[in-house]
Amino acid sequence: MEKRSLALKGAMANVNGSRLNGKAAIVTGGASGIGQAIAETFAANGASVHILDISADRSAEAAGRITRAGGKACSYECDVTRQKQVEAVLRQVFQRERIDILVNNAGVAHIGKLENTSEHDFDNVFRVNVKGFYNCMFAVVEHMKKQGGGVILNMASVAA
């Protein structure tokens, strides 16, 4: 297995102190929680951020906060469980710029016991947390391969 790492500070950082300057990132679930923190941190460190969220309003609000703070951000409404929608949204993103980073952060949690979990609830968790990651990776991998590489971060957290 190939070993990779991403050093954000130290000798590998660029002259402005961050390897994210000039990079573009997609952050799914980037309008709230951990995804929002990632989007804001990436933007504060020079990355152009594309926020995908199931809520157009929350996505626009998050992108607005970043741009008002001096960062670069765009917002997109996207249901990561719908492959055709993910592909269409990412085509829009690719037309804007080269994407260097995909942060698969969109996720849902169902807290409860097995006997209290309906099949519908289980299916929803699986669609968002597994199929959503697959849909985004599937839509971005050829773009990254054509440009010579990129970084895909798949997040997992009950707080994501």
Domains and CATH numbers, the chain: 24-154 (3.40.50.720)
Question: Per-residue pLDDT for 12 more than 70?
Answer: no
pLDDT of residue 112: 83
The structure's pTM equals 0.86
Question: Is 80 within 8 Å of 106 (Cβ atoms)?
Answer: yes
pLDDT digits (tens, 9 = 90+) for 103-124: 999 998 888 888 999 999 999 9
72, exposed or middle or buried, with CB in 10 Å at 0-12, 13-18, 19+? Answer: middle
